[in-house]
Amino acid sequence: MDAILNGYRVLDLCTGGCLVCGKILADLGADVIKIEPPGGDPTRNIGPFFGGIPHRERSLYWFAFNTNKRGMTLKIESPEGKGIFRKLVETADVVLENFDVGYLDKLGLGYDDLKAINPKVIMTSVTPFGQTGPYKDYKGADMVVWALGGLMNLCGDPDRQPVQVSLPQAYIAAGTYAAEGTMVALFERENSGLGQQIDVSAQATITWFISELIPFYNLLGQDMKRAGGAITRAGGLLCPIVYKCQDGYISYMITAGLPGAERNEKMVLWLEEEGLATDYLRQKDWVNWDWVGMTKEELEKISKPVSELFIRYKAQDLYDEAIRWGVSLFPVSTSQDIMGNAQLEARGFWTPLYHEALDTTLTYPGAFALIPETPLSVSKRAPLIGEHNQEVYVEELGLTLEEMVSLQGIGVV
Amino acid sequence: MSGALSGVNILGFTYAGTANFVMRVLGMHGAAVVRVESHTRPCNLRLATPFKDGKPGINRSGFYAMANNDRYSIALNLKHPKAPSVSERLIRWADVVFENFTPGTLNKIGLGYKDISTLKPDIIMISISSQGQTGPHSSVASYGPQLQALTGHVNLTGWPDRGPCQIDQSYPDFITPSYAAIAVIGALIHKRRTGKGQYIDCSNLEPSVQWVAPAILDYSANKHLMMRNGNWVPSAAPHNSYPCKEDDSWCAIAVTNDKEWASFCMVIGKPELKDDQKFTTLPARKSNEEELDRIVADWTINYTAAEVTEKMQAAGVSSGKVQSFKDIVSDKQLRHRNYFRPLEHPELGWYDAYAPSYILSRTPAELRLPAPCLGEHTEFVCRELINMSDEEFVELLTDNLFD
């Protein structure tokens, strides 16, 4: 079956979360070659690990973000390596990288160099802050980008320090948006026949997330800070959204005024059935109330009865009941919950991939969208170190096996 | 219009954020974007805070504004008997049709993919919904603040000794639009190659779960449940946010190798710590992390977060202030990148729109049009884009079609 990026070739020099960029292009059908330093990419040291054993061929993080890619090893810093890389660029559509600003330029492999080899090549460069500017040489650990981008300020309990998500997100975000920019450039190239460089800032990607809230600051002077298991409502009132239930937590959102009226009325009926409804809840005009003017004490008259309901039942049962009632409630899902999610199951989302070296089949998240005519396909596990060296070096680049082995011997491959 | 996507026509039967964020990306890169709106049922974002000067109004919402730059708004009452004659012409004009109503809604009014592709066989149509067009929960809608619970992100945020924390932002609503844009542009590329259109069923759930894939595999492989653990990571220490001089002000610091640790010790004026057995290697630092964090905090508390950032970065240690909105709007690096783009709006006055986080070197995005007032471009769209005659426009206007 035809795939969206059939026939496109991508050279992937990325590490860490940015690897998701190449994965997305590979899942769309491009031939993505992950180029690793001899001995393997440092990302292979990131856990979790299969069986809990740190090992370069057991990194589940590596597995997650390198599906569908081929893998080769190459030391691009060596003279031979540069020559080989330049040869590969001749037939590449896209080069992905997230080296420090200027690193590839110093090697003679920057965009201007690659453009001279292949004017059609698109170079997507992810950095923490951008290719130019006052922070361009700042070191950007994922958590630091999360902080400087503005999301860390909105995560955590008020009485403790602000936090990141424990599976760091900033470079996964940057890599995803890098894929978006790459697609824009690929389309543009259809018309112009020319490539270009894409300067992706991980910080700006995170700032885009909070840009839905910056207008509160610009228009009303309202800044925000972390609110624990609550959300900040108009006027600064914190409204609980995470509630304890019998076997974990659920997310329940109270919406004011007309948009939330029907759901709030249904919740009162549910509480009534549970013997938890109060006169206040029965008599409240759910259509005509607003957060502005709402007090903490009055909010508790709504949140306390529902919390008493939730503690009685398990998250999954509450979800099923809430759907039946027409109330907006969702389980705070663990990985186990996600894998047991009836909707994802019904959508055929889960994709088994076999790992021969581990003699195990692992279950992967599948297609990010359903596109019947040109289906996305997560069909190949992440490559082993140098798994496709022979394919690339011998079958495609025309080296003899001896030449390839000799390059291995001197640490180029 | 110039731009990477110039010549592409986008039509949106959309509301709220997610689908409109996708169309925004296309508009900023030069596509012509038309959004069908209605006075009788205004987009919910037009009714959402924050309003200019705190005064509500359908053209005064800052939330609507940030999602809707670089497009045209036509007011069209889709239930009017003459609506199809206009919507059909719009569909023929369009290369891509967006919709994000509850699954099945558009089918009921003859605007489903079957109908649209009969009218225009090479149309690309994308439906964006919370959980997908099919499946037992296809009509169970939620916005980002709640979907983030379903995607696993809430469980992974906060402290192991407490209940989880909310990411106080519509998090998944900013993941999905990127994937949807990728899919739509992919479909456009595919159409150039083959002449064929197609249908895209994009949920908010399936893209967002992609970002927790390692945690999924940890369960699949090891039956291990990855859990929240503050700012702890296995591979770095110090690695946390630390209190600074100003009230509730914090700086994130990440020391990722022993070389950085040596530099770090110099910056905080304690070179002797470099070789202290309790801290000299990463495993040692991880074993004594509580004590280490106290040492760091005892130092950072004497400086502002900006000072900590500068001192640490100058020494090659990754650190950065935990920035509030006030900090973000004056952030030097974001300003350097021209992230904030002032646009002038009839009722909002000058307001900041937001550029993409990536810059194309030869054909960068341009932000040209402020968010439209409702129906602001009805006449323009009818007369200029679908070539309606003066007479017909006046006739339909009088008949209250553009409502």
What is the SS3 string spanning A238-273?
EEECEEEECCEEEEECCCCHHHHHHHHHHHHHHHHH
B365-398 pLDDT per residue, tens:
999 999 999 999 999 999 999 999 999 999 999 9
With 80 as the cut, is the pLDDT of residue A244 above it?
yes
Residues of A in contact with B240 (CB under 8 A): 161
Q: What is the mean pLDDT of chain B?
A: 97
Model confidence at A211, pLDDT cuts 50, 70, 90, reads: very high
Residues A36 and A134 in one domain: yes
With 90 as the cut, is the pLDDT of residue B2 above it?
no
Q: What is the mean pLDDT of chain A?
A: 97
Residues A354 and A294 in one domain: no
Q: Of the candidates A316, A315, A173, A294, which has an alpha carbon nearest to the alpha carbon of residue A246? A: A315
A102-115 pLDDT per residue, tens:
999 999 999 999 99
Q: Which residues of A45-79 are buried (b: 16+ CB within 10 A; e: fewer)?
A: bbbbbbeeeeebbbbbbbbbbbbbbbbbbbbbebe
Using the beta-carbon criterion (under 8 Å), do B230 and A364 form an inter-chain contact? Answer: no
With 90 as the cut, is the pLDDT of residue B17 above it?
no
Using the beta-carbon criterion (under 8 Å), do B228 and A166 form an inter-chain contact? Answer: yes
- The reported pTM is 0.98
Mutate to test the interface with A, among B68, B241, B255 (most CBs of A within 10 A): B241
Domains and CATH numbers, chain B: 9-211+337-398 (3.40.50.10540), 239-329 (3.30.1540.10)
Cα–Cα dist B299/B311, whole Å: 12
Per-residue pLDDT at A234: 81
Residue A73 falls inside a structural domain:
yes
| Cβ-based neighbour number of residue B350 at 10 Å | 9
With 90 as the cut, is the pLDDT of residue A293 above it?
no
Residue pair A69/A12 in contact by the 8 Å Cβ criterion: yes
Residue A395 falls inside a structural domain:
yes
> How close is the nearest chain A Cα to the Cα of B370, in Å?
14
Q: Does B163 touch chain A (CB under 8 A)?
A: yes
| Cβ-based neighbour number of residue B141 at 10 Å | 18
Residues A15 and A60 in one domain: yes
Residues A351 and A334 in one domain: no
Q: Does A119 touch chain B (CB under 8 A)?
A: no
Q: Does B108 touch chain A (CB under 8 A)?
A: no
Domain residues for the domain of A292 are 241-339
Residues A60 and A131 in one domain: yes
Cα–Cα dist A228/A154, whole Å: 9
Cα–Cα dist A328/A264, whole Å: 9
Per-residue pLDDT at A91: 98
Number of Cβ pairs < 8 A linking chain A and chain B:
507
> How close is the nearest chain B Cα to the Cα of A241, in Å?
8
- The CATH number covering residue A297 comes to 3.30.1540.10
Residues of B in contact with A4 (CB under 8 A): 186-187, 189-190
Residue A222 falls inside a structural domain:
no
Supply the DSSP symbol for A395: I
Residues A249 and A124 in one domain: no
- The CATH number covering residue A369 comes to 3.40.50.10540
Residue A226 falls inside a structural domain:
no
Residue A80 falls inside a structural domain:
yes
Model confidence at B206, pLDDT cuts 50, 70, 90, reads: very high
Residue pair B154/B165 in contact by the 8 Å Cβ criterion: yes
Averaged pLDDT, B296-314: 98
Chain B: residue nearest A378 by CA?
B210
Averaged pLDDT, B148-163: 98
Q: Does B273 touch chain A (CB under 8 A)?
A: no
Q: Are strands A329-331 and A248-252 parallel, antiparallel or unpaired?
A: antiparallel
B208-243 pLDDT per residue, tens:
999 999 999 999 999 999 999 999 999 999 999 999
Question: Among residues A307, A339, A371, which one ends one of the domains?
Answer: A339
Residues A334 and A356 in one domain: no
Q: Of the candidates B259, B253, B249, which has an alpha carbon nearest to the alpha carbon of residue B296? A: B253
With 90 as the cut, is the pLDDT of residue B56 above it?
yes
Residues A265 and A387 in one domain: no
Residue A3 falls inside a structural domain:
no
Residue A94 falls inside a structural domain:
yes
Per-residue pLDDT at A263: 97
Averaged pLDDT, A137-163: 98
A245-279 pLDDT per residue, tens:
999 999 999 999 998 999 999 999 999 999 999 99
Residues of B in contact with A249 (CB under 8 A): 149, 154-155, 163-164
Averaged pLDDT, A66-73: 98
Residues 6+ away with beta carbon under 8 Å from A57 = A44, A357, A384, A385
Residues A249 and A142 in one domain: no
Alpha carbon of B285 to those of A6, B58, B151, B246, B291: distances in Å? Answer: 48, 55, 33, 28, 9
With 90 as the cut, is the pLDDT of residue B1 above it?
no
Question: Among residues A320, A339, A358, which one ends one of the domains?
Answer: A339
Averaged pLDDT, A82-101: 98
Using the beta-carbon criterion (under 8 Å), do A217 and B326 form an inter-chain contact? Answer: yes
With 80 as the cut, is the pLDDT of residue A1 above it?
no
Per-residue pLDDT at A106: 98
B38-50 pLDDT per residue, tens:
999 999 999 999 9
Residues A246 and A180 in one domain: no
Per-residue pLDDT at A123: 98
Per-residue pLDDT at A391: 98
Per-residue pLDDT at A131: 98
> How close is the nearest chain B Cα to the Cα of A391, in Å?
27
ipTM entry? 0.98
Domain count for chain A: 2
Using the beta-carbon criterion (under 8 Å), do A341 and B327 form an inter-chain contact? Answer: no
| Cβ-based neighbour number of residue A80 at 10 Å | 17
Averaged pLDDT, B29-37: 98
Using the beta-carbon criterion (under 8 Å), do A198 and B360 form an inter-chain contact? Answer: yes
Between B334 and A2, the more confident residue is: B334
Model confidence at A147, pLDDT cuts 50, 70, 90, reads: very high
Q: Does A405 touch chain B (CB under 8 A)?
A: no
Per-residue pLDDT at B186: 98
Averaged pLDDT, A376-388: 97
Q: Does B345 touch chain A (CB under 8 A)?
A: no
Q: Are strands A350-355 and B32-37 parallel, antiparallel or unpaired?
A: unpaired
Model confidence at A236, pLDDT cuts 50, 70, 90, reads: confident
Question: Among residues A302, A319, A339, which one ends one of the domains?
Answer: A339
Reported for B21-25, long-range contacts at CB under 8 A and 24+ positions apart, including other chains, are B21/B67, B21/B173, B21/B174, B21/B177, B22/B98, B22/B126, B22/B128, B22/B177, B22/B180, B22/B181, B22/B184, B23/B71, B23/B98, B24/B67, B24/B68, B24/B69, B24/B70, B24/B71, B25/A180, B25/A184, B25/B177, B25/B181, B25/B356
Averaged pLDDT, A182-208: 98
With 90 as the cut, is the pLDDT of residue B302 above it?
yes
Model confidence at A25, pLDDT cuts 50, 70, 90, reads: very high
Residues A321 and A252 in one domain: yes
Residues of A in contact with B189 (CB under 8 A): 4-5, 183, 186-187, 190
Residue A227 falls inside a structural domain:
no
Residues A193 and A271 in one domain: no
Q: Does A55 touch chain B (CB under 8 A)?
A: no
Model confidence at A337, pLDDT cuts 50, 70, 90, reads: very high
